[in-house]
Structure 1
């Protein structure tokens, strides 16, 4: 069986949060949803729409019945699901796609339980608008070209972020990460909910343990927090990164003219890659 890809929604999210991304992959013929895993507010896992797992690039959509549960609770729920997928469905490898808090859940589960042999091996992570350092830096204001040159290390680290740093060596080796960050129109560096600085801080959090790191910065109206997971550009990046043998992801190093244009017009979209 090839790697199963699990899609995890964010705070107050639900089936609609990841449905369009899953549909995009299915319409492109790249993957197929084989299961919906609903986790009740008491932590019980209910499997529905279960189909043959031995299809090309199977997808599992994860739904939290209590979609406002604290992050540490969701991390434990996700860990239990991964154990179940390996034990009951023989899933040996997985990819993770998360939006907002779902991104944090996936990253933090791998940090805290990366040494647990009961869970499948993590191969690829795609994180969208993850508040990895909380809401720190929400009111920062920098032009896009300067943002892209800034250090990924957050200036003010939350207690949770500092604690996660202590688990860095437990993170599975060889993981590829693609990080989608949003920045709306206006003077402040955020997507209306999560700061650019917080969303980009995952690179610093996992520095030295990732196989590689790629990043996409979406600006203007399409950079809104709740639009990123419904954005065709993001769909294409998800599909390319996860299921294309030689992904054709944009590289900022060959698109410097875009950065100059964005300084005066932030309605455009910018993609950047870093290793």
Structure 2
């Protein structure tokens, strides 16, 4: 059976946080949602939908009944779900797609439980607007070319980020990661909720561990935190990354960049030279 893909919403999110991405994947013929896993505020897992996993690229939508639960609680819930999927539904491999805190949940679960043989093997991750280093860098203001020249290593690391670094060696091997970052023009270096610096820091967090890292920076109105998971540009890139074996995404992309012609030329030159 091919890998199942789980979609995880963020803090205060719900069905609408991931349903557009799932619908786009189904409409394009890449995958099919076969299950919804709802985790109650007490940690019980309720499965609805078809239990047949032998379809092309099965999708599982994950919903937290308490969508404001602390991150460490959501990580444990997600871990329990993955154990259940392997034990009860014979899911041996999985991909993860997370928006906002859902990105952190997926990365942290793999960091903390990467050695646990009870969970399926992680193949690919899509992280969208993940606040991996908290709100550090939220008030910085740099041009897009200057941002792309910056090291992914955060200059100031939160206590949580430092703790994640300690688990880096536990992260599963051979995982490919596609990271989507937003920057709303006029709102400094952030998507109105998460800083560019924090969202990009996942590359440093997992450097030397990942098999491959790809990045998409979306700026302007489409770079808003709650627009990134409703964006057709993100849908197309996500679908290609997860399911098109012949697609080759560049290491650095920019989309919808509302900057001057000279900055745009410099940005394109930087993107084309990243190898």
Q: Normalised by the shorter chain, which TM-score bucket? A: over 0.9
SS in 2 for 1:156: coil
What does residue 125 of structure 2 align with? 125
In 1, Cα distance between the equivalents of 2:109 and 2:165?
Answer: 13
Q: Residues 253 and 132 of structure 1: is their aligned pair in 2 closer, same or farther, counting only changes over 3 Å?
A: closer
What does residue 98 of structure 2 align with? 98
**Structure 2 length normalisation: TM-score?**
0.93
SS in 1 for 2:126: strand
Q: CA deviation at 1:254?
A: 11
In 2, Cα distance between the equivalents of 1:69 and 1:274?
Answer: 39
- 5+ long unaligned stretches in structure 2: none
* Residues 53-64 of structure 1 aligned to structure 2 (within 5 Å): 53-64=53-64
What does residue 142 of structure 1 align with? 142
What does residue 168 of structure 2 align with? 168
What does residue 228 of structure 2 align with? 228
Q: CA deviation at 1:182?
A: 0.1
In 1, Cα distance between the equivalents of 2:39 and 2:59?
Answer: 16
What are the superposed Cα offsets for residues 45-79 of structure 1, whole Å, 9 maximum, x if unpaired?
00001241100000000000000000000000000
What does residue 239 of structure 2 align with? 239
What does residue 151 of structure 1 align with? 151
What does residue 24 of structure 1 align with? 24
* Residues 1-275 of structure 1 aligned to structure 2 (within 5 Å): 1-186=1-186, 188-250=188-250, 252=252, 261=261, 263=263
Equivalent residues of 1:11, 1:67 under 8 A apart: yes
Equivalent residues of 2:216, 2:252 under 8 A apart: no
Q: CA deviation at 1:249?
A: 2.2
- Give the count of matched residue pairs: 271
Equivalent residues of 1:218, 1:271 under 8 A apart: no
What are the superposed Cα offsets for residues 25-64 of structure 1, whole Å, 9 maximum, x if unpaired?
1011110001000000000000001241100000000000
